[in-house]
Amino acid sequence: MKSSAIAHSNIALIKYWGRSRDHDSNLNIPSNDSVSMTKLGLSDDIHLQTRTTIDFSDIYEKDTAILEGEVLTGRMMERILRVVNPLRKIVNIDYKFKMISKNDFPTQAGLASSASGFAALAIAAVDALGIDFSKEEISTIARLGSGSAARSIHGGFVYWYKGNSHETSFARQICGLDEFDMSAVIAIIHEGKKDVTSDVGHESAYTSPFDRVRISKSQEQAKDIEKAILDGDFSEVGKISEENSKYMHAVMMTSNPPLFYWHPSTLKLIKSIQKIRESLECYFTVDAGPNVHCLCRHENTYELQKMLEEMEYVDKTIIVRPADDSHVTKEHLF
Ligand code: PMV
């Protein structure tokens, strides 16, 4: 019972930050709807994807999960079991599993490795166990590992309904990869691991006095951005994304304890993007890390990349296009 999957990461245009306090926090049911673009990295060695193989068999004496050659324990293993256990229960087997997973980009650097990681795990585990699930159902399972993974099941532009139960908190596609003209250039400032993972950060969002405002604004912005995507209105999508990213960082910075994901260069870059915008239309969005995603139209990506690469504090850049759906592959890792 072996299967492998390839899943892409995604960049949130409307952010998920904070879990609903009305539900068990292990369910990762968010406080607000969110919207993202699933990403395909265009550089030779970085496609921003995770490949995962999982095998269930009676030959294994215990569950083992290996990421980048490291055997996972503690919180990470707990999150993997939250995805796999409900599936084992559905098919009523108690076989142990072996899982190997590889990212083609730095883990935990704010490039959404948990999104592609848990999406790949959910797709591979559902396939290995022969469960007949729709993409929306697979998205609920991926969500149990990492909220944003719910969105990475689909390609193109994706809407995640916060819902009010495990079954109703799922993502669906707004439109496919060719149906809206947007790309991004990621400006990498720092590739190291961040001090506080988003998994931990979600728990303190509610302590910010601005949390309630962000939630209600995000709810409106999610609907507005969906409409703008369907209308093909890049300017509107860019403006809303930028606003929403600032709201999230305002909440992070004013939580208790406060979370400062930005580095000094993040702010420098944001100011440069505002300047670049006078001649080339682009917008910024920043996830839980210091690196900046600069959103632009397809035709402007290489020119924008050149401008960003000239900045002394930018280590490197990655061009990203919308990706296709995450999927099963026959190429196993073991
Ligand atoms: O899925 P998590 O727990 O890694 O949270 C993702 C949080 C952000 O990347 C900051 C925002 C988002 O919606 O992806």
3-state helix/strand/coil string of 247-287: HHHHHHHCCCCCCCCCCHHHHHHHHHHHHHCCCCCCEEECC
Please work out whether the CB of residue 208 comes within 6 Å of at least one atom of ligand 1: no
Burial class (CB in 10 A: 0-12, 13-18, 19+), 73: exposed
Residue 99 C-alpha to ligand 1 middle, in angstroms? 23
Q: Write out the chain's pLDDT in tens, 334 residues.
A: 999 999 999 999 999 999 999 999 999 999 999 999 999 999 777 888 999 999 999 999 999 999 989 999 999 999 999 999 999 999 999 999 999 999 987 665 556 679 999 999 999 999 999 999 999 999 999 999 999 999 999 999 999 999 999 999 999 999 999 999 999 999 999 887 778 889 899 999 999 999 999 999 999 999 999 999 999 999 999 999 999 999 999 999 999 999 999 999 999 999 999 999 999 999 999 999 999 999 999 999 999 999 999 999 999 999 999 999 999 999 999 9
Atom of ligand 1 lying closest to residue 34 CA? 13
**Residue type at 144 in one-letter notation:** L
Burial class (CB in 10 A: 0-12, 13-18, 19+), 308: buried
Please work out whether the CB of residue 199 comes within 6 Å of at least one atom of ligand 1: yes
Residue 143 C-alpha to ligand 1 middle, in angstroms? 11
Closest CA to 144 of 173, 158, 165: 165
Please work out whether the CB of residue 288 comes within 6 Å of at least one atom of ligand 1: yes
Residue 199 C-alpha to ligand 1 middle, in angstroms? 8
Residue 110 C-alpha to ligand 1 middle, in angstroms? 9
Query: pTM of the full predicted structure?
Result: 0.96
Mutual angle of helices 301-309 and 264-276, in 10-degree steps? 130
Closest CA to 171 of 125, 134, 128: 134
The model's pLDDT over 297-309, given as tens digits with 9 standing for 90+, comes to 999 999 999 999 9
Contact 1, 320 (CB under 8 A): no
In this prediction, residue 47 carries a pLDDT of 87
Residue 181 C-alpha to ligand 1 middle, in angstroms? 23
Please work out whether the CB of residue 285 comes within 6 Å of at least one atom of ligand 1: no
Residue 91 C-alpha to ligand 1 middle, in angstroms? 30
Closest CA to 282 of 331, 327, 258, 317: 317
Please work out whether the CB of residue 322 comes within 6 Å of at least one atom of ligand 1: no
Query: Which of 198, 241, 285 most suits a substitution to test ligand 1, by most atoms within 8 Å of the C-beta?
Result: 198
Separation CA 244–CA 35 (nearest Å):
11
Closest CA to 315 of 288, 280, 290, 333: 290
Please work out whether the CB of residue 140 comes within 6 Å of at least one atom of ligand 1: no
